[in-house]
Structure 1
Amino acid sequence: KKLRTVGNPDTRFQEDALRLLRGLRFVNVLNQKLLTTTKKKKPDPTDKVRLFDFEPETWKSIKSNHTLLKTIAKERIKEELTKAFSQGNPFGLIGLLDEAEMLAILFPALALTKHVDQPIRYHPFDIYSHIILTLYHLQEINQNYLVRFAMLYHDVGKVGQYAEYGKNLSKEEIRTLLAGPLNHRFSSAVLAEEDFRKLGFSHKEIEEIQRYIREHHTPGEILLGNPQNRAKRLRKLLSEAGFERVNNLLDINIADRMGMYNPLQNASDLSDSRYLKKLLLDLEQEEGQFRAKDLAIKGKDIMEHFHLKPGKIIGELLEVALDRVLGDIKNRNKPDQIFANLANHLKNLSNRDGTHSSTQEK
């Protein structure tokens, strides 16, 4: 089965260049539907899977006219890309865009990751291959188009990071890197803002994409930390971001780890990541999203109890209280316990720098 234009393909694409992108999306969607249908049937080794393809002259015209994409209003391109990434196989679309020489036009930062090798002890693939593998795994478990776009750009900043720092860093160099703007989580988010703004994405959509990119290592950091603190750290993340965002981050973490391995080989043990998913679900069902407003005390209570005036210190003390309560919401969210903990905190502040020395409890 082949997709062809009505009449001369050059004429059709020059009439409306969006047909270039729409044609790729149609073929990708139709192939995904065929593959899905085939998987549901009882396997028969004599069956031949007939996939959709482009009629040769149509495909030749798509490639020769690919620069016409630059003439399309960004709002129309954004609509097509959103449809494609909301459907079943964005991984397949990226492959078609690459083959049709459109990748660098639509996703320039992603195109620059091709053939950029990574440290072999962490990644056996170049940056681009790793990214599209993670997208492949993510689309199997998460349908959110913004999460998928974040996965597409989560590591694009590594190009600049490797160019500046190289790939075999000392511990001191790693500390310097993580504290600076070339930390790929931050530089990737900057590149995403640049490219998705040019594609017509809204400020709100771009912020969401950037948030996932900046935080995509957070689940891994929780797993590498003290196992006894995992529930508390997950509660804090849940408090700040909400269930849906945290669940999306955990999906990104799983896909990122799976993208480090050849799909034909056994992937890494993901039991710890899946444990976090279960823990998140348990916390959501048992406790919900616990935030500062859910504390047993309010800012005015702190001011009255410690004879403090309104100011920055009140917000800081609420954060201290929240951090403490998140360790054990059921038993610690009690006024007397919160005030006792804050009294110790203020005492430590006073001993450290002499501030709040006149603060007294009732």
Structure 2
Amino acid sequence: MDINLPKGVRYILKELSTHGHEGYVVGGCIRDVLIGIAPKDYDVTTSATPEEVMSLFKKTVPTGLKHGTVEVHTHDGAYDVTTYRMDGEYEAHRYPKNVIFVDDLVEDLRRRDITINAIAYNPEKGIIDPFNGTEDIHHKIIRAVGNPILRFKEDALRILRAVRLSTTLNFNIEENTLKAMVETMDGLRFISEERIREELNNILLSKNPARGIRMLFDLGIMKYVLPELMTMSGFLQHNPHHDKDVLGHTLEVLTHVPADLPVRLAALFHDSGKPSTFTMDEKGIGHFYGHEKRSRDIAHEVLMRLKYDHKTIRKVETLVYFHMTSTDMKNEVKLKKFITKLGSENLNGLIDLKIADFIGKPEGSDDKLFEINSFRNRIEHIINRGDPLTVRDLAVNGKDVLALGIREGQEVGRILEALLEKVLKNPDDNHKEILLEYARKEIYR
């Protein structure tokens, strides 16, 4: 089998071979090629030591000498070249205390997590697959290399990686591998928030995020990833607008929002506050008054813990908090105030979330979808018109008001708010002379 490799990779393999060293492309890139996916990057493994690799190529960066990795720069990019190795004893359920460089490719492949990641390729020697990864690709199976319990005890992050690969590739996890994941998942307690966040992001941005999130819940792994969401599973809503538990509805919404990380995070958290705000009336109907506020608070707590950037956190909080906004709003002053609170940059995300939220409910209606899109159109019309929406948009400022003889700063703020209220109703009045005249009337009211 001939795999079309980048020129830089072929150059590295040729140079290694010319100087008496083995070299193979290995791991996820070969897996992706065999599946039919374009690889994002290429990794090379070799019998050459890091020092030998650095001596062979003009420009190298010793990015991970402790683990045998050297970054080799070529004309068409930089590639990681790592020496064959065996891992020593693992610590903290994540990293080997030490590595032992070896000259045996199979031993290097043996230390890897999943069989489909333990495949190597060399243009002259072809596919090297001692753990039958190509067969598992054919049968769409995720299977641990060797003893699955040992693999997951060595590095608990491999548990989330298996879920992520199962989600993104739409593969099933082999039974013994699945059992080992459940048996060893306590090790996830020792994994850093950043690592968990990255695997969660990959699951959420896949073509079928609901599959991955459901798997985390069903296996009990979610209690180590997002324990704050565990109460959603099995929580019946007792409401005619919902025919699923909170988790089931959430997964429906997650399925129908676009692959934008803040929007998918908002979909995941939008009803997370329902279990803690649940009440039932005398007719046996369930209500969740204020759940959007509680859901926002949960999202904030979780995203801060997982160290998301502040921009993402703010957007997710905003979308979650406003997801219950009535789309029947037609009063332009109210719409303008809403735009200011929401932020025009969040409009499309909110509409995507509201449409998915509606689709996830049992009562399907084209009228409701029309209402949501009409709501979007009304807001976009106001934004495109360029109407003043905030005090900053007024034709006067605090200094102009102070020049009228006002001394108290608080009074200045009150007058500016009064001017904004006037302009929200009549945008054409946003001229300095008109506003100053109105301000004088406010002063002597």
User: Quick one: distance in 2 between partners of 1:77 and 1:133?
Assistant: 23
Partner of 1:291: 390
The answer as to whether partners of 2:315 and 2:346 remain within 8 angstroms in 1 is no
The answer as to whether partners of 1:261 and 1:267 remain within 8 angstroms in 2 is no
Partner of 2:181: 62
Partner of 2:320: 213
For 2:425, what is the secondary structure of its paired residue?
coil
Partner of 2:197: 78
Deviations 1:45-73, CA, capped at 9 Å, x for gaps: xxxxxxx2122222222222222221211
Partner of 1:354: none
User: Quick one: distance in 1 between partners of 2:437 and 2:235?
Assistant: 54
Deviation at 1:296, TM superposition (A): 1.2
Residue identity over aligned pairs, in percent, reads 29
Is 1:101 matched with 2:220?
A: yes
Deviations 1:132-176, CA, capped at 9 Å, x for gaps: 2222222xxx333122212211222221212xxx22279xxx9xx
User: Quick one: distance in 1 between partners of 2:148 and 2:347?
Assistant: 46
The AA in structure 2 aligned to 1:208 is: K
Deviation at 1:96, TM superposition (A): 1.6
Deviation at 1:16, TM superposition (A): 1.2
Partner of 2:72: none
In structure 2, relative to structure 1, the CA distance for the partners of 1:93 and 1:287 (3 Å cut) is same
User: Quick one: distance in 2 between partners of 1:134 and 1:118?
Assistant: 16
User: Quick one: distance in 2 between partners of 1:8 and 1:288?
Assistant: 65
Partner of 2:406: 308
In structure 2, relative to structure 1, the CA distance for the partners of 1:282 and 1:199 (3 Å cut) is same
Deviation at 1:77, TM superposition (A): 0.7
The AA in structure 1 aligned to 2:444 is: Q
Deviations 1:100-157, CA, capped at 9 Å, x for gaps: 221222222322022222242332322222222222222xxx3331222122112222
Is 1:117 matched with 2:218?
A: no
Is 1:168 matched with 2:265?
A: no
Partner of 1:360: 444
The AA in structure 1 aligned to 2:419 is: A
User: Quick one: distance in 2 between partners of 1:84 and 1:114?
Assistant: 18
The answer as to whether partners of 2:266 and 2:316 remain within 8 angstroms in 1 is yes
The answer as to whether partners of 2:347 and 2:376 remain within 8 angstroms in 1 is no
Deviations 1:65-107, CA, capped at 9 Å, x for gaps: 2222212111111121123323433222111212222122222
The AA in structure 2 aligned to 1:5 is: A
Deviations 1:192-247, CA, capped at 9 Å, x for gaps: 233333333345543432232222223x1xx344x3x1x43333333344322122
In structure 2, relative to structure 1, the CA distance for the partners of 1:298 and 1:94 (3 Å cut) is same
User: Quick one: distance in 1 between partners of 2:206 and 2:429?
Assistant: 45
Structure 2 matches for 1:315-330, cutoff 5 A? 315-329=413-427
The AA in structure 2 aligned to 1:234 is: L
For 1:148, what is the secondary structure of its paired residue?
helix
Partner of 2:144: 5
Higher helix share: 1
Deviation at 1:317, TM superposition (A): 2.6
Deviation at 1:324, TM superposition (A): 3.0
**Greater relative contact order, per chain length (Cα 8 Å cut-off, separation 6+):** 1
Partner of 1:35: none
User: Quick one: distance in 1 between partners of 2:388 and 2:238?
Assistant: 39
Deviations 1:177-198, CA, capped at 9 Å, x for gaps: 96xxxx2122222222333333
Partner of 1:133: 252
Q: Give the length in aligned residue pairs.
A: 303
Deviation at 1:274, TM superposition (A): 0.6
Unpaired segments ≥5 residues, structure 1:
32-51, 347-358
Unpaired segments ≥5 residues, structure 2:
1-139
Which one has a bigger Cα radius of gyration?
Answer: 2
User: Quick one: distance in 2 between partners of 1:268 and 1:132?
Assistant: 24
Partner of 1:145: 261
Partner of 1:200: 307
The AA in structure 2 aligned to 1:147 is: V
2:358 alignment partner, one of 253, 257, 267: 257
2:163 alignment partner, one of 24, 35, 43: 24
Partner of 2:432: 335
In structure 2, relative to structure 1, the CA distance for the partners of 1:96 and 1:78 (3 Å cut) is same
Deviation at 1:341, TM superposition (A): 5.0
2:375 alignment partner, one of 276, 298, 303: 276
The AA in structure 2 aligned to 1:253 is: K
In structure 2, relative to structure 1, the CA distance for the partners of 1:160 and 1:6 (3 Å cut) is same
The answer as to whether partners of 1:258 and 1:267 remain within 8 angstroms in 2 is no
User: Quick one: distance in 2 between partners of 1:169 and 1:328?
Assistant: 46
In structure 2, relative to structure 1, the CA distance for the partners of 1:119 and 1:99 (3 Å cut) is closer
In structure 2, relative to structure 1, the CA distance for the partners of 1:4 and 1:205 (3 Å cut) is same
The AA in structure 1 aligned to 2:280 is: K
Deviation at 1:267, TM superposition (A): 6.7
The answer as to whether partners of 1:130 and 1:259 remain within 8 angstroms in 2 is yes
The AA in structure 1 aligned to 2:176 is: E
